[in-house]
Amino acid sequence: MLTILLIIVIYIAFISLGLPDSMLGAAWPVMYQDFGVPVSYAGFISMTICLGTVISSLNYSRLSRHFRTETITIVSVGATAAALIGFSFAPSFASIILLALLLGLGAGAVDAGLNNYVALHFKARAMNFLHASWGIGTLFGPFLLSYLFTNGMSWRIGYRSIGTVQSFIMLFLILSIPLWRMNSKRDKAGEEEAKGKTISAGEALKRPGAVAALIGFFSYCSMENTAMLWSATFLVSARGFSESLAAQSAGILFWGMTVGRIIAGLISNKLGDSRMIRIGEILIALAAVLLIVLPESWSIAALFLLGIGFGPIYPAMIHQTPEYFGSEASAAIIGLEMASAYVGSMFMPPVFGALGRATTMSILPFFILFFVCLNFAAIETKKKKKAA
């Protein structure tokens, strides 16, 4: 019963991580007009959020040596709540940029902390459901904003509402502190975590296979975030969809990822992390090939399959970390993995955008194929280093 209650608390915290992730894209068509800036300035906000997540992820191992996971999570959720409420009162674009940095700092620490905790304390099923919780969180923002806009209300109310929800989640986490303390006493990983028996990021990076693990996260998030950002444009430019139909159809990718993680949660304990990664890579490659060879009418189905393929890879790679590198290196390695993931998220979508403008948006499936092959090579290298 204790374990079930705690994992519910953790899932709620991860839903809170997903809540703001889809807000910017849905709100920006109105936001940029209010601030009087070019529509392209959304990229500056996104990159600033990613910068904050990289900074906090790289420093997570240092924080974990001084503070417990629940403490870091509570403070970080509080920071994201403050940033989101701040968005709703922001007088200028410059203030949005400052708040975006705070949002990223909070999100990165929550991401690294909860991923590390679940990897140490729970089985693969729990990790997949954790990331499905994030997917559920991403579905709320656009629905909320759509309702507000339909009823003539401002995007600021949307951010204020999400920020208020985050504040209540922070209070809920504070009340749950006894659950974390009791669970930490039940297993060796928790005892080591409580006593601060962890190593630095520099020491962790020297572990065999650590660099390959970072490349695995970089390659995965490069293709995932590129697909999320550019799939609608791909449907319009390369497949002849209307803008409205493409916007609706691109959302199928998020549904596919959420469904993929729920399915993975049901079967991952039996199949194991390595097989789940391989299944995901095969489905991604198949979806990319289908986008190349099949008629336009099959594009939506291919995107859904692509999302299902994305589903199990990220949670499985994280869950492998303590097994491959040891519980004492887990916090440091996962912090580095999160940073590497966010670097891919920050830089590769703009790189694809530049390539697409210089050539054609039809190269999106080939771009995805390149990174899924790189992910395959990185995972295989990590395995060989462990075996050696």
What CATH number is associated with residue 300?
A: 1.20.1250.20
Residue count (the chain): 388
Say what the pLDDT of residue 278 is: 95
Tell me, yes or no, whether 349 and 232 share the same domain.
yes
Tell me, yes or no, whether 57 and 153 share the same domain.
yes
Over 70: is that where the pLDDT of 187 sits?
A: no
Say what the pLDDT of residue 255 is: 84
Tell me, yes or no, whether 134 and 78 share the same domain.
yes
Say what the pLDDT of residue 354 is: 84
* Residue 263 · residue 311 · CB < 8 Å: yes
Say what the pLDDT of residue 91 is: 94
Neighbours of 328 (CB within 10 A): 17
Tell me, yes or no, whether 360 and 298 share the same domain.
yes
Among 169, 198, 227, the domain-final residue is: 198
Residue 333 is classified by DSSP as H
Mean pLDDT of the chain: 84
**How many domains are contained in the chain?**
2
Distance CA 197, CA 186 (A): 16
Over 50: is that where the pLDDT of 171 sits?
A: yes
- In the chain, the amino acid numbered 100 is A
Neighbour-count burial for 329-357, b at 16+ CB within 10 Å, e otherwise = bbbbbbbbbbbbbbbbbbebbeebbeebe
| Segments forming the whole domain that contains residue 301 | 205-387
Tens-digit pLDDT profile for residues 68-91: 888 888 999 999 999 999 999 999
Which position has the higher pLDDT, 48 or 27?
A: 48
Tell me, yes or no, whether 117 and 192 share the same domain.
yes
Distance CA 171, CA 78 (A): 9
CA dihedral 327, 329, 332, 333 (to 10 degrees): -90
Say what the pLDDT of residue 235 is: 84
Task: Lowest mean pLDDT of 149-158, 300-309, 358-367, name the range.
Answer: 149-158
Confidence tier at 334 by pLDDT (50, 70, 90):
confident
Tens-digit pLDDT profile for residues 21-38: 777 777 777 888 899 988
Distance CA 21, CA 296 (A): 29
DSSP string, 142-184: HHHHHHHHHTT--HHHHHHHHHHHHHHHHHHHHHTHHHHHHHH
Q: How far is CA 307 from CA 236, 284, 312, in A?
A: 19, 8, 10
Which position has the higher pLDDT, 286 or 335?
A: 286
Residue with tokens 């293709």, as numbered in its chain: 223
Tell me, yes or no, whether 193 and 209 share the same domain.
no
* Residue 131 · residue 11 · CB < 8 Å: no
Among 198, 221, 237, the domain-final residue is: 198
Distance CA 328, CA 55 (A): 21
Confidence tier at 376 by pLDDT (50, 70, 90):
very high
Tell me, yes or no, whether 247 and 348 share the same domain.
yes
Tell me, yes or no, whether 120 and 189 share the same domain.
yes
Tell me, yes or no, whether 156 and 188 share the same domain.
yes
Over 50: is that where the pLDDT of 375 sits?
A: yes
Tell me, yes or no, whether 190 and 241 share the same domain.
no
Tell me, yes or no, whether 81 and 214 share the same domain.
no
- N-to-C CA span, the chain: 40
Q: 0.85 cut: is pTM over it?
A: no
Tell me, yes or no, whether 313 and 351 share the same domain.
yes
Say what the pLDDT of residue 276 is: 92
Among 154, 179, 198, the domain-final residue is: 198
